[in-house]
A = this chain, B = another copy of it.
Amino acid sequence: MTENALPNLTGAQAFQLAELFRALSDTSRVRIIAALLEGEVNVSALAELVGISESAVSHQLRTLRQMRLVRARKQGREVYYSLDDDHVVDLFQRGLDHVQHG
């Protein structure tokens, strides 16, 4: 079959979608996003909220930023992280709906 069999989804889009969902397929990353639903948080507060080391949080944040799920804002010497946009909130909420209504 050619890519045209799925007119609404190119091979590249299917790959990008799979990568997006892969970025969310980790319990620590899910907990980081859940923490960011409340608003901006810095690395040390995230580490405390999620219950992993700051270095582990930084590692996971890199993955989340690469997929544009999370963005960073520098203020003085501190970096604050937040969800990139409302798509992320919606995506996360829809996933939670599915899990909760199961």
Q: Please list the residues of chain A having a beta carbon within 8 angstroms of any beta carbon in chain B.
A: 1, 5-6, 8-9, 11, 13-22, 24-27, 29-31, 34-35, 37, 48-51, 68-69, 85, 87-88, 90-92, 94-102
Contact = CB atoms under 8 A, between A and B. Distances in A.
B27 A15 contact: yes
Contacts of A9: 30-31, 34, 96
By DSSP majority rule, is chain A's interface helix, strand, loop, or mixed?
A: helix
Nearest to A51: B1
A10 to B, nearest CB: 10
Contacts of A97: 87, 90
A94 to B, nearest CB: 4
Contacts of A34: 6, 8-9, 14
Given A31-B6, A48-B1, A68-B98, A21 B14 contact: no
17 contacts: A1-B48, A1-B50, A5-B49, A6-B35, A6-B49, A8-B34, A9-B30, A14-B34, A17-B24, A17-B99, A18-B27, A21-B25, A21-B30, A68-B102, A69-B98, A87-B98, A90-B90
